[in-house]
Amino acid sequence: MAMISVRGLKKHFGTLRILNGVDLEVERSQVVAIIGPSGSGKSTVLRCLSFLEAPTAGEIYVDGRRMGYRDNGRRLPDAVLNRQRAEIGMVFQSYNLWPHRTALENIIEAPILVRRTPRDQAIAEARSLLDRVGLLAKQDAYPSTLSGGQQQRVAIARSLAMQPKVILLDEVTSALDPETVHEVLDVIKDLAQEGMTLVLVTHEMAFAREVADRIVFMDEGVVLEDAPPEAFFGAPQHERARAFLAKIL
């Protein structure tokens, strides 16, 4: 059973059609990079996967369970939906850390409040995660004192603290200085090597080629190509994909 299964996903905002029927399968421990021009619907796919946006149509299954709805099509109660969301880590380009809380406090809050993790255990696990992303020495630092790369690594640690089944990463390096991009990419590489299921939207083509098992190319709200990195970057099949790569490579 695939970790993520998306069937006929559509998302409309009024008359604006963002997703026009996306089908996607992501196997366990697989890394899938979604690429494509701005406005193609890449980030909206992630927001629907995490149910931050409710799909207009289509079905999303994570680890065999339908996201957001019962099998009869009825919307899940918010409490049940929130438990589903807790199994999906989401890391944004804007970090979204609490500015009035330290790095450690940012990480322990959700496990304590959502998973009812005892505080001492949450603190021990948070320190382990900060060490994992190379920031244990910054556990008492506030976000305003951290670089963009450091804040993003705290955001990744915060996501890992919920022990998610999959992590979604939405352009997590786009707001970073070139010198700090590698800090975050190295953490993502480590997660991939450890077998975490990852779906990432990125403009970092070299990174996508190195770390991803599959490249999904989108344009105008649909998937136009889905292939291993060497096949996609070496000989893309769709004319739109060839034109896209010709502009950015």
Q: pLDDT tens-digit profile of 168-191?
A: 999 999 889 888 899 999 999 999
Query: What mean pLDDT comes out for the span 40-67?
Result: 95
- Whole-number average pLDDT of the chain: 95
Q: pLDDT tens-digit profile of 39-51?
A: 999 999 999 999 9
What are the chain's domains? 1-87+170-249 (3.40.50.300), 93-163 (no CATH)
Q: What is the pTM of this model?
A: 0.94
Q: pLDDT tens-digit profile of 98-121?
A: 999 999 999 999 999 999 999 999
Residues 90, 76: Cα–Cα separation, whole Å: 20
Q: pLDDT tens-digit profile of 198-243?
A: 999 999 999 999 999 999 999 999 999 999 999 999 999 999 999 9
Q: For tokens 């409710």, what's the residue? A: 54
- The 3-class secondary structure across 154-177, one letter per residue, is HHHHHHHCCCCCEEEEECCCCCCC
